[in-house]
Amino acid sequence: MSTALFRGSGGRRARSWAWTSLVTATVGALAAAGLVATAGTASAQSTLADAAESQGRYFGTAVASGRLGESDYVATLDREFNSVTAENSMKWESLQPSQGYFDFSAADRIVDHARGQGMAVRGHTLVWHSQLPGWVESLGTNDLRSAMNNHITEVMQHYQGDVDTWDVVNEAFQDGGSGARRDSVFQRRLGDGWIEEAFRTARSVDPNATLCYNDYNTDAWNSAKTQAVYDMVADFVSRGVPIDCVGFQAHFNSGNPVPNNYHETLQNFADLGVDVQITELDIAGSGESQAEQYGGVTQACLAVSRCTGITVWGVTDKYSWRSEDTPLLFDGDYNAKPAYHAVLETLGGSGGGGGGGGGDDTADCTVTYSETDRWGDRFNGQVTVRAGDSAIDSWSTTVTVHPPQKISATWNGDPSWDSSGDVMTMRSHGGLAAGGTTTFGFTVMANGNWTTPTLGSCTAS
């Protein structure tokens, strides 16, 4: 190995999780016995990580090592997430760019940061046909077998105790209706047994790691690819091939929407006796429709007891691998989007989006407007409401449109109108943490007038 960083035994993480589950179990038992009163003033969790943890899940994100120097990126990462996946730095081409030469430096930066924050790390990915260095492609059967097993061994040993879950094999099945294995160098040279061999090697290197098969387009239960992966996992389980988990990448867009039977797919896999995880979630879109889909995926995971956590594929839209789709939970300025609030609230949290205590006691808030979409006849406006230095219980503000404009739809708030119908008062559904933000939105039928609506001031209590 090229780096010789000191690594702990992993005891820190092991202890913190053991402690967490002990506390959860204890509180659960006491509550069952009627010994714990729910405090009326207890506030809901206001970060994704805390809210997910209160549901016995983790909430993770993909991290790009090159972004760890950006303070807003790191602040959002550290505040909201308790698990990370290296977006690229643990792929074969990054870790072993030429045969026998391992470069762990970028991945180590991610792992050191995450472990320093007490976060878990998902290892992604040991064997994948993509982002695979050219030297692997040119190996013959025996050399490829050794190289695969050696890569798994070196990488897992390096991260033993720090990475608790590995995507051992990624994307080994074809898209479309064939249900066939993907035509990769591994499949061509090693035949059907290569996936099984990779899992057996992984188990022998780190018997404590959770071993996952990870893929995309495996969300709709009836698709041929989903069925093919299911059959493989069922076969592995029945023959005792070591597999612990199936990862669902969950890259959604209008051509590949969140299926409405998603929880059934997750449940059917879980019923095989493996954990399921949503591993690379991103959903193209914006506003309320994106928020609803994010809420639906979160709900699907919560509905399946063996769905142990969700990872989104990046912190902010601006660095997303498909940033033009704005598929993530934070916009380019690290403002929490409606999708963020949908996830947080589905996890039982509230407020959120940033901030955190301190300051004076004056309840105040500010509002800012942006236009998020425009069509030939209408546009969507979005208002970001931000609490001042103190938490607030509620907020309200006004939006005045300019006749003959008419507001035809609203989301994320309780609207009421004056007699003219031109002044909408929007009231919050809930409060905000200090410095926290939320958004509400509305569609304005322009009726020929494209003047920007006028915002009133924000009132907080």
Shortest CB 3 distance to ligand XIL, Å: 22
Please answer whether residues 102 and 152 qualify as being in contact, where contact means their C-beta atoms are separated by less than 8 angstroms. no
Among 170, 218, 293, 311, binds ligand XIL (CB under 6 A): 170
- One character per residue 214-253, x = contact with ligand XIL (rule: CB under 6 A): -----------------------------------x----
Q: Binding of ligand XIL at residue 93 (CB under 6 A)?
A: no
Q: How far apart are CA 149 and CA 145, in angstroms?
A: 6
Shortest CB 131 distance to ligand XIL, Å: 6
Q: Binding of ligand XIL at residue 288 (CB under 6 A)?
A: no
Q: Binding of ligand XIL at residue 102 (CB under 6 A)?
A: no
- One character per residue 13-52, x = contact with ligand XIL (rule: CB under 6 A): ----------------------------------------
Nearest to 452 by CA among 389, 382, 355: 382
- Read off the amino acid at residue 149: N
Select 87 or 275, whichever has its Cβ closest to ligand XIL. 87
How many C-beta atoms lie closer than 10 Å to residue 194's C-beta?
Answer: 22
Name the residue number minimizing CB distance to ligand XIL. Answer: 321
Q: Binding of ligand XIL at residue 422 (CB under 6 A)?
A: no
Q: Binding of ligand XIL at residue 174 (CB under 6 A)?
A: no
Return the sign of the alpha-carbon dihedral for residues 340, 225, 309, 169.
Answer: negative
Among 61, 76, 82, 88, binds ligand XIL (CB under 6 A): 88
Shortest CB 219 distance to ligand XIL, Å: 14
Output the six-digit token pair for 22. Answer: 């002990």
Select 214 or 335, whichever has its Cβ closest to ligand XIL. 214
Total residues contacting ligand XIL by CB under 6 A comes to 6
Shortest CB 320 distance to ligand XIL, Å: 8
Please answer whether residues 427 and 413 qualify as being in contact, where contact means their C-beta atoms are separated by less than 8 angstroms. yes
Shortest CB 319 distance to ligand XIL, Å: 9
CB-side neighbour CA atoms (13 Å) of 414: 7
Select 55 or 88, whichever has its Cβ closest to ligand XIL. 88
Q: How far apart are CA 283 and CA 250, in angstroms?
A: 8
The CA–CA distances, whole Å, from 27 to 22, 35, 54 equal 8, 9, 11
Shortest CB 243 distance to ligand XIL, Å: 17
How many C-beta atoms lie closer than 10 Å to residue 95's C-beta?
Answer: 25
CA 437 centroid distance within chain: 20
How open is the CA angle 144-146-149, to the nearest 5 degrees? 105
Q: How far apart are CA 399 and CA 43, in angstroms?
A: 30
Select 46 or 170, whichever has its Cβ closest to ligand XIL. 170
Output the six-digit token pair for 274. Answer: 């493996």
Shortest CB 279 distance to ligand XIL, Å: 8
Q: In what order do the strands lie in the sheet with 406-411?
A: 365-374, 378-387, 437-445, 406-411
- The DSSP bridge pattern shows strands 459-460 and 423-427 to be unpaired
Select 248 or 379, whichever has its Cβ closest to ligand XIL. 248
Among 280, 288, 317, 345, binds ligand XIL (CB under 6 A): 280
Select 311 or 390, whichever has its Cβ closest to ligand XIL. 311
Q: Binding of ligand XIL at residue 165 (CB under 6 A)?
A: no
Q: Is 432 exposed, middle or buried (0-12, 13-18, 19+ CB in 10 A)?
A: buried
Q: Binding of ligand XIL at residue 87 (CB under 6 A)?
A: yes
Q: Binding of ligand XIL at residue 321 (CB under 6 A)?
A: yes
How open is the CA angle 403-406-409, to the nearest 5 degrees? 160
How many C-beta atoms lie closer than 10 Å to residue 183's C-beta?
Answer: 10
Shortest CB 87 distance to ligand XIL, Å: 5
- Read off the amino acid at residue 73: Y
Residue 120, SS3?
strand
Select 229 or 444, whichever has its Cβ closest to ligand XIL. 229
Binding to ligand XIL in span 343-402, by CB under 6 A: none
Select 88 or 187, whichever has its Cβ closest to ligand XIL. 88
Binding to ligand XIL in span 115-134, by CB under 6 A: none
Residues 6+ apart with CB under 8 A from 429: 412, 413, 414
Please answer whether residues 23 and 30 qualify as being in contact, where contact means their C-beta atoms are separated by less than 8 angstroms. no
Q: What residues are annotated to the active site?
A: 171, 280
Shortest CB 265 distance to ligand XIL, Å: 18
Select 280 or 325, whichever has its Cβ closest to ligand XIL. 280
Residues in contact with ligand XIL by the rule CB under 6 A? 87-88, 170, 249, 280, 321
